[in-house]
Amino acid sequence: MSKPRNKLLKPAPDRPLVAPSILSADFGRVAEECRAVLEAGADLLHLDVMDGHFVPNLTMGPDLCAAVRRHCPDAFLDVHLMVTNPALYVEAFAKSGADLLTFHIEAALHDNHGFDPNDLANTIHDQGMNAGLAINPPTKLEKILPYLKPFDLILVMSVNPGYSGQSFIADVLDKTRAINSQLRPDQRLEMDGGIKPDNAPSCIEAGCDILAAASAIFKTDNYAEAISHLRG
């Protein structure tokens, strides 16, 4: 039987969901920061995992995810893997309590160490998690379209991944609309990067039902207000 929090993604939510990315949280007080955004109305927690290879930065791994799970047992954990070899970490994140594991199409379609994204979606499902597929700003729509079917969620990056606090790239909105037109009602669309109250409405208009945001929430002193401003 699926865990109750897994129902978050299905059916479609009747309002945009907000996923604070804890990359901009105070790392000295991660559990407290997670609880604070959940109490402030966050719908899920977004964990950015970087391997220093797919992107230049290094951030968090399964142990951090397990700690968040321990301190926030009912939270929906949205884990965004910006790593070259996501298959290596599927089991570890399943054990660490991730609800959604998203990896990048650019990792799958790599010339030298690529893999079939649909096979990895199946592996993620077999481990009891939802599966997500992410696409970077420069990657063409045609690259992701053949692979949408088995995924619970598609994540469109609106910054080049690696860091929080970058500016929103509005060019990705056309690609977002095109992806949205190909999704089934049971598939979610998430936008991630540079989302602020002034550009959140354009993401929602393009079909996104989940907005991931780090600095727009954690760099303010009123999380509840920041979250409600993103919802519009």
> In the set 108, 212, 226, 230, which binds ligand DX5 (CB under 6 A)?
212
- The answer to the question of residue 191 lying near ligand DX5 (CB under 6 A) is no
The answer to the question of residue 24 lying near ligand DX5 (CB under 6 A) is: yes
Residue of 43, 48, 51, 152 with catalytic role: 48
Residues 90-129 that bind ligand DX5 (CB under 6 A): none
Contact by Cβ (8 Å): 80, 47: yes
Q: Is the dihedral of CA 149, 155, 158, 159 positive or negative?
A: negative
Q: Could you give the string, one character per residue 189-208, with x where binding to Zn ion holds by CB under 5 A and - elsewhere?
A: ---x----------------
Structure tokens at 169: 């790239």
Helix ranges (DSSP H) in the chain = 30-39, 62-71, 90-95, 105-108, 117-126, 141-144, 172-180, 200-205, 215-218, 223-231
Using the rule CB under 6 A, which residue among 100, 214, 227, 230 binds ligand DX5? 214
Question: What distances in angstroms separate CA 167 from CA 65, 80, 163, one per listed residue?
Answer: 27, 19, 11
**Site membership for ligand DX5, residue 192 (CB under 6 A):** yes
User: Which of 194, 209, 210, 226 contacts ligand DX5 by CB under 6 A?
Assistant: 194
Decide if 198 is catalytic. Answer: no
Please say which residue, 80 or 188, places its beta carbon nearer to Zn ion.
Answer: 80
Let me know: does 121 contact 86? Beta carbons within 8 Å: no
Does residue 80 bind ligand DX5 (CB under 6 A)?
yes
Looking only at the bridges linking them, the beta strands covering 153-157 and 188-192 are parallel
Alpha-carbon distances of 95 from 99, 124, 207, rounded to whole Å = 10, 12, 32
By C-beta, is 94 or 230 nearer to ligand DX5? 230
Task: Please tell me whether residue 8 binds ligand DX5 under the rule CB under 6 A.
Answer: no
Q: Which one, of 84, 90, 88, lies nearest residue 51 by Cα?
A: 84
Closer CB to Zn ion, 103 or 147, in the complex: 103
Going residue by residue from 37 to 66, which x/- string records binding to ligand DX5, judged by CB under 6 A?
A: ---------x-x------------------
List C-alpha distances in Å: 131 to 31, 41, 155, 226: 25, 24, 11, 28
- Report if residue 48 touches Zn ion, rule: CB under 5 A: yes
Residues 156-175 contacting ligand DX5, CB under 6 A:
159, 161-162, 164-166
Verify whether residue 48 is a known catalytic residue.
Answer: yes
Tokens of 67: 């700690």
Interface ranges with Zn ion (CB under 5 A): 48, 80, 192
Residues marked as catalytic: 48, 192
